[in-house]
Amino acid sequence: MVELDELDRKIVNELLTDSKRSYRELAKRLGVAITTVINRVQKLEDQGVLTGYTVQIDYEKLGYELTVLTEITVSKGKLMEMEKEIAKMPPVCAVYDVTGLTDAMIIAKFKNRKDLSDFTKRLLSMPFVERSNTHVVLTTIKEDFRLKETLT
């Protein structure tokens, strides 16, 4: 686990808000020298805290009408192997090992029912996938994996 001091947390929160901010803008907002920001960001990257920079996308505006959570049950100790294969599939946003009656949860997005049907059939045709249970999201209330408030 990496310990962040107050300045590190502020830098991470600023980048979570807008990862396009320049070092100069970050330094100005935080009241520190630009070299301090550059060095801190480099350190956070080297420690693996900052693993990449991305944008927030409204997938519905791009035609992805369906978000699903799919539970899968895998046989014969092949869970990790199956999860790695599933994670490579284009519509998959997340794959989690979980506790409970199923072995894994998958979050995926689809433009239409046919794409969802094809995905489900592909899952079920994979060796060692015993069964799946898919939940279709009706309304997205919040979808944001950035945990800014926990970093303060």
* pLDDT tens string 39-74: 999 999 999 999 999 888 999 999 999 999 999 999
What pLDDT is stored for residue 150 in this prediction?
59
39: phi then psi, degrees, rounded to nearest 5: -65, -40
> What's the DSSP call for residue 94?
E
* Cβ-based neighbour number of residue 108 at 10 Å: 24
Q: Indicate the helix (H) or strand (E) that contains 122.
A: helix 113-125
Q: Output the six-digit token pair for 13.
A: 């929160």
Q: Binning pLDDT at 50, 70 and 90, where does residue 26 land?
A: very high
What pLDDT is stored for residue 55 in this prediction?
87
CA 67 to chain centre: 14
State the burial class of residue 50 (Cβ atoms within 10 Å of its Cβ: 0-12, 13-18, 19+).
middle
More confident residue, 76 or 116: 116
Q: Tell which CATH architecture fits domain 6-46.
A: Orthogonal Bundle (1.10)
What integer is the mean pLDDT of 22-27? Answer: 96
Judge: domain 59-136, CATH 3.40.309.10.
Answer: no
- What is the domain partition of the chain in residue ranges? 6-46, 59-136
- Does this model's pTM top 0.85? My answer is no
Per-residue pLDDT at 152 exceeds 80: no
Task: Give 80-123 pLDDT, tens digit per residue.
Answer: 999 999 999 999 999 999 999 999 999 999 999 999 999 999 99
Q: Indicate the helix (H) or strand (E) that contains 104.
A: strand 104-110
